[in-house]
Amino acid sequence: MAADLDVVNLFIIAGGTLAIPILAFVASFLLWPSALIRVYYWYWRRTLGLQVRYADCGGYRFCFASRGKPGMRPSILMLHGFSAHKDTWLTVVKYLPKHLHIVCVDMPGHEGTTRTNTEDYSIQGQVRRIHQFVETVRLNRKPFHVVGTSMGGNVAGVYAACYPSEICSITLICPDGIRHPCETKFDNHMQDLEHSNYTLNIPLIPTTPEEMEDMFRLCSHVRFKIPQQILQGLVDVRQPHNTFYEEVFMEIVGETSRYALQEHLHLIAAPLQVIWGKKDQVVDVSGAAVIAEVLPGCRVDLLENCGHSVVMERPCRTAKLILEFIILQQGARGGAKKAS
């Protein structure tokens, strides 16, 4: 009888132990979905071996996640898009070899990087800050590969043009900053915004779960089924930063930033790779042809059934293309050295 009671008690204790995390998860999902999202990113960084670090320079602090150490392959610096953060790249990092040295930095003012003033939020301002970061962490001890998506692609391209000796190769993913010949759904939104003198809501700055869902539809060709609670959590995470996002948005669509990449294309000397989703509704895929016309030696990879959020929609393919390009360029440099 005593043994039976012990077994019953054991089951009660085991059940209680299991129930606590389950109840905590359910409570977080229903009451604090934003906390659940933060835990999700923390878990995946830990699983993928990425460590969050900080770099201070003259009172300015950069937040970044990194994995690995500089080695035979070039280090990879990854620049995210507008209103995103370093964890945007987790889906791609998952498919990159663990021995590669990878650095994912929060762009100026985003997430854990210092928020200052609008001078730092223009494309040229972001380039200056990213160069400050590169020098602070000594990433430019030897030429590195830079990857940028959307706004980050604009910054990456201008960076390569301004600091050619630091860059061995570049990958631009659906980069902003190009006068693309064909209009997109987002271009139509931009016209409405301009006509309203920017009094209408900006589609890339959602304030409700419904607007968040609309943003996903705009940015992604693949239709992700996201629970309402998670959409609310995403809104809750972003809401305190919306005024900042508005400031950044106004800077990057301003006269000096909107076509910054195109104006600097002719100065890019490093081998260039362009990856673009054919169904991009934010920055039209015709921009790839514009880049190829100025830089005919660039490699262009267009992805079927993929929109603007290439990193989210096709992470495995994106990682494979980036790695192939880096290895190809390294082989070409090695061959050139032997020939000389």
Residues classed as catalytic: 150, 280, 308
CB-CB contact of 115 with 109 (8 Å): yes
Q: Judging by beta carbons within 10 Å of its beta carbon (0-12, 13-18, 19+), is residue 326 exposed, middle or buried?
A: buried
Helix, strand, coil percent values for the chain (each to nearest 5):
55, 15, 35
- In sequence order, the β-bridge partners of residue 55 are 62
What is the DSSP secondary structure assignment for residue 86, as one 8-state letter?
G
Helix 228-238, helix 33-48: angle, nearest 10? 80
Phi, psi angles (nearest 5°) of residue 49: 80, 20
How far is it, in rounded angstroms, from Cα 299 to Cα 322? 11
How far is it, in rounded angstroms, from Cα 153 to Cα 78? 9
Cβ-based neighbours of 169, under 8 Å, separated by 6 or more: 74, 145, 270, 271, 272, 273, 325, 326, 329
How far is it, in rounded angstroms, from Cα 36 to Cα 236? 11
How far is it, in rounded angstroms, from Cα 108 to Cα 135? 15
CA 293 → CA 137, 268, 288, 302, distances in Å?
35, 13, 9, 16
How far is it, in rounded angstroms, from Cα 77 to Cα 149? 12
